[in-house]
Structure 1
Amino acid sequence: MIVSRGIHVGRLLRYNAPTLALLVAYDVAITVAYLVLDWHWVAIPLLPLPLLGSAIALIVTIRNNAAYARWWEARTLWGAILNNSRSFARGVLALVDDPSVAHDLVRAQIAYALALRCHLLRLSPDEALARYLPADMAVLCHGRANAPAAIQMAISRRLADLRRAGGLDSVAVANLDRTLAAVIDAQGGLERIKNTPLPRQYSGLPLIFSRAYCFVLPLGMVDSLGVATPFGSALIGFMFLVLNEIGSDLEDPFSNDVHDIPMAAITRTIEIDLLQAIGAEDVPSPITAQNGILS
């Protein structure tokens, strides 16, 4: 996630450089055809450019709002996982008398958060499972298609075993299970966002309309702007390209690029908080932004 407050013009230009270069070349070609070759037929001065631009801007805005809603919902769901992980650790440490069992459950919750990040990015969770998951739970979760869900199942089984052994009463188990249910609900929401892209009409039509507008833009401007047409047309076209790119960047919050939800930073926060809660000494450092980007 980009966290720097300034606008990184170089990054914007780099992402849109090929399309912008093609746009400038086309604008120059139209200007040369009109002014040098006297091809006055290329000019269409009566084009309703303001009306067309307003309509396309509205379409792009609707798509961008839908894309941002997905991105923000994903961030909200990760916040719920963070909060409920803390609540689960607090409840386990307060209610489970055996410290070793309590610590195993807390470390399993850390493994869950790390495995969920890998699950959304389509990465292997083996490192997270080996680092934090107790051996008996790791056997149940290794090789599963949905490792985070398998970890939650293993945690629930451990809680059930504690209740049968008299280590937890039914009220305590019910409270902890309610917290785990909230975690699973949040995971379901994240998987829905990951597995259900925006309808292609939302992502395809704004791109087509924006490029079509950039195509007719110099035709309607060359008669009035003359030699300045490439500057005016390229500037307006670049604005539409950037607006369209914003929506494309936000459509998938789990695409492993700079516009993602900062899942590494969130899971590291869970890792730090829960390790400190059990008094562990090997606590990693928080993840900080590098070059204005928080991963």
Structure 2
Amino acid sequence: MLLSKQISIIYFLRLIKWDVMAIFLYACLVGALDYLSFFKTLSIPLSISAMVGTLLSLLLAFRTSQSYERWWEARVIWGAIVNDSRTLIRQLIQFLPKDEQKQTFIKDFAVRQSVWCYALAESLRKCPSSQKVEQYVAKLDKDSDNRPNLLLTKHAEQLDELSQNYQLNANKQVQLDNTLQRLTDSMGKCERIKNTVFPRSYSVLIHFLIYVLTTIFPFGLDDHHWAIEICMATIVPVLFIAIERTAILMQDPFENKPTDTPMTALSNTIERNLMEMAEMPIPEKSPASTTFYLM
């Protein structure tokens, strides 16, 4: 789990309550039809229901696998952001010659990089900017619709200033530029995942097959009792709905949900590490917020 406490079953039930209710009502309707004179003699072998269930299982397995791959890719990207953020400050500590301004430059980069992480997380989650980001952007001479990109541009401008002031050799400039490029690539990968919608056709087909299974399942059961038919015609499709909902939770890792990539916690870790490297006061861990999950 990504949270310090487990996600309650109530949270998950709230996500599927309308689907469960719709399936239950539809199962009641189909169960009632099974007792009408015209449909009472109709019998659909359970092998047909088993075939539909097998097809559903294959589709859900593919859907769940693809959703997990998106979630895991997002986590790998943010792992790279953690590493590259530390590398950037470590390179500056190593490459810049010792003088009175060295520590000032390192502190500027450490603060800006930590703010960049928070700004990127807030941009991906489409939630209001935190006070920390707002205060830093207010100090700049301009704002942008893409604040993470703006902050990386400020990185590039100051790196250019450093290369001119300290006459850094080409090898050191290339290494710093490569680190900045990796951060830019990570930002672009996150934006690609955020803006790429999972094909809607999968959900439509899965829901269609679930209701097909709900329709034919009661006609293959022995007519022992109407309540048993309704329960079985509800429980089996709901299990498939629950699996699909799990895939939906994972397919969008930047939607400010408990199952998201833990960007806030990672940003706070990066900030604490960079402040320590820059010999600045280490901030406390981020408190809980009402606008995003502390993950």
- Scaled by the length of structure 1, what TM-score is found? 0.85
Residue 117, structure 1, aligned to residue 125, structure 2: no
Instruction: Check conservation: 1:264, 1:287, Cα contact below 8 A.
Output: no
Instruction: Check conservation: 2:30, 2:215, Cα contact below 8 A.
Output: no
Give distance in 2, aligned partners of 1:178 and 1:113. Answer: 18
SS in 2 for 1:207: helix
Instruction: Check conservation: 2:30, 2:218, Cα contact below 8 A.
Output: yes
In the TM superposition, what is the alpha-carbon distance from 1:14 to its structure 2 partner? 2.0
The corresponding residue for 2:52 is 52
* Aligned with residue 99 of structure 1, among 87, 90, 103: 103
Code of the residue aligned with 2:43 in structure 1: it is I
The corresponding residue for 1:268 is 268
Closer, same or farther in 2 for the Cα pair 1:150/1:4, shift >3 Å?
Answer: closer
Count the aligned residue pairs. Answer: 288
Q: Which moved more, 1:179-188 or 1:43-52?
A: 43-52
The corresponding residue for 2:141 is 139
Code of the residue aligned with 2:183 in structure 1: it is V
Instruction: Check conservation: 2:3, 2:258, Cα contact below 8 A.
Output: no
The corresponding residue for 1:191 is 191
The corresponding residue for 2:78 is 78
In the TM superposition, what is the alpha-carbon distance from 1:38 to its structure 2 partner? 5.6
Give distance in 1, aligned partners of 2:7 and 2:239. Answer: 14
Residue 23, structure 1, aligned to residue 16, structure 2: no
Deviations 1:147-183 (A, max 9, x none): 1112111111111111111263332222111111111
The corresponding residue for 1:248 is 248
Give distance in 2, aligned partners of 1:237 and 1:222. Answer: 18
Give distance in 1, aligned partners of 2:281 and 2:6. Answer: 38
SS in 1 for 2:281: coil
Deviations 1:169-217 (A, max 9, x none): 3322221111111111111111111111112223332233223323332
Give distance in 2, aligned partners of 1:134 and 1:99. Answer: 23
The corresponding residue for 2:171 is 171
SS in 2 for 1:162: helix
Deviations 1:101-150 (A, max 9, x none): 11101111111111111221224547344445694xx224x1x1221112
Closer, same or farther in 2 for the Cα pair 1:272/1:193, shift >3 Å?
Answer: same
In the TM superposition, what is the alpha-carbon distance from 1:253 to its structure 2 partner? 1.2
**Any unmatched runs of 5+ in structure 2?**
none
Give distance in 2, aligned partners of 1:287 and 1:217. Answer: 50
Q: Which moved more, 1:210-219 or 1:145-154?
A: 210-219
Give distance in 2, aligned partners of 1:232 and 1:156. Answer: 62
SS in 1 for 2:166: coil
SS in 2 for 1:165: helix
In the TM superposition, what is the alpha-carbon distance from 1:72 to its structure 2 partner? 0.9
The corresponding residue for 1:41 is 40
- Scaled by the length of structure 2, what TM-score is found? 0.85
Deviations 1:202-259 (A, max 9, x none): 3332233223323332233354675422232222111111011112212211112222
Give distance in 2, aligned partners of 1:234 and 1:111. Answer: 49
**Any unmatched runs of 5+ in structure 1?**
none
Closer, same or farther in 2 for the Cα pair 1:276/1:79, shift >3 Å?
Answer: same
% identical aligned pairs: 25
Instruction: Check conservation: 1:197, 1:251, Cα contact below 8 A.
Output: no
Deviations 1:66-122 (A, max 9, x none): 111111111111111111001111111232331111110111111111111122122
SS in 2 for 1:257: coil
Give distance in 1, aligned partners of 2:6 and 2:42. Answer: 39
Across the aligned residues of Structure 1 and Structure 2, the Cα RMSD in angstroms comes to: 2.9
